[in-house]
Each structure stands twice: as C-alpha cells, then as structure tokens.
Amino acid sequence: MIIYIFVSRIVSLLMDKQKEKSYIYDVQVVSKNRTKEFKALLDTGNELKEPVTDLPVMIVAENIFSEDDYDVSKTFDIPYCSVGNSKSILKAFKPESIKIRIGNKYCCKLALIAIYNNRFTEEGEYQALLSRYMI
C-alpha cells in the first residue's frame, strides 16, 4: 500500500510538471533593433491591459530588458492590483515586434511589455508572464 501511494505521488508530480510545460512559450521581442529571446508562462489570470490603448500587457523580469533596450521617454504607466498587494504602477513600453511560438510557427502579436523588478521562479524556467489575450 505504501509503495502504491509513493508511486502514485511521483507519477502525479511528473504529470503536473509536463502539463506546466505546455503553458510555457518561446517569445522573441524586437526593440531598438535588438532581439531578446526568453520563455514566458501563459498566465490565464493575467487580464492586465493598458487603459488608453486597450493593448494586453506582458510582464517581463527586469533582467531581460535594460533602459538601453527601449525609449524611456515613451513609457506607459499601467495601474495594477494583485493578490496580497495594494494598487501600484508598472512601467511599460511598446516594442517594435513581439513573436510567440505557437506550435511550429511564430505568431506576431501587439502588446506592451511591463518590467517587473523581480524574478518569477528560482529555477528560471520562464522570465515573463503572458496575458491570456495574447494567445
């Protein structure tokens, strides 16, 4: 009985990891003629949009983009609220292009990129959160 419980827990853990990988996408962003490539997790709870342009917002860890990668004078202030945090503002910019790999091809998307001043995971499995409006 103990062996069965142990094996079923391991199988369940492996299946959960495999399912999580299906929500991770390869992303290419071009800004100021520089291409950045990273992995992004589809965050189905991310409904963040810029209020004026109504563009979805992809949240990216700060180590991906520096202020040299976008025009600081053309940033957007995105108000947001998350669980356990009070209302705050994210700085965002509009890149030249965003391509998300879906299956075997890349699809171009219009969106803003907000810089998040932290990492999403300790292991670094992904560096960004995709809005559900981008897929």
Kindly report the CA angle at 23 between 18 and 26, in degrees rounded to 5? 110
Question: Of 43, 54, 68, 71, which one is the catalytic site residue?
Answer: 43
Active site residue 43: yes
Domain 24-134, CATH number (from 2.40.70, 2.60.40, 3.30.70, 1.10.10): 2.40.70
Q: Which residues contact 65 (CB under 8 A, 6 or more apart)?
A: 31, 36, 113, 115
pLDDT of residue 98: 94
CB neighbour burial string for 46-62, b if at least 16 within 10 angstroms, e if fewer: bebbbeeeebbbbbbbe
Q: What is the pTM of this model?
A: 0.79
Per-range mean pLDDT, top range of 11-25, 72-86, 96-110: 96-110
Query: Is residue 126 within 8 Å of residue 41, measured between CB atoms?
Result: yes
pLDDT tens for residues 45-63?
778 888 888 999 999 998 8
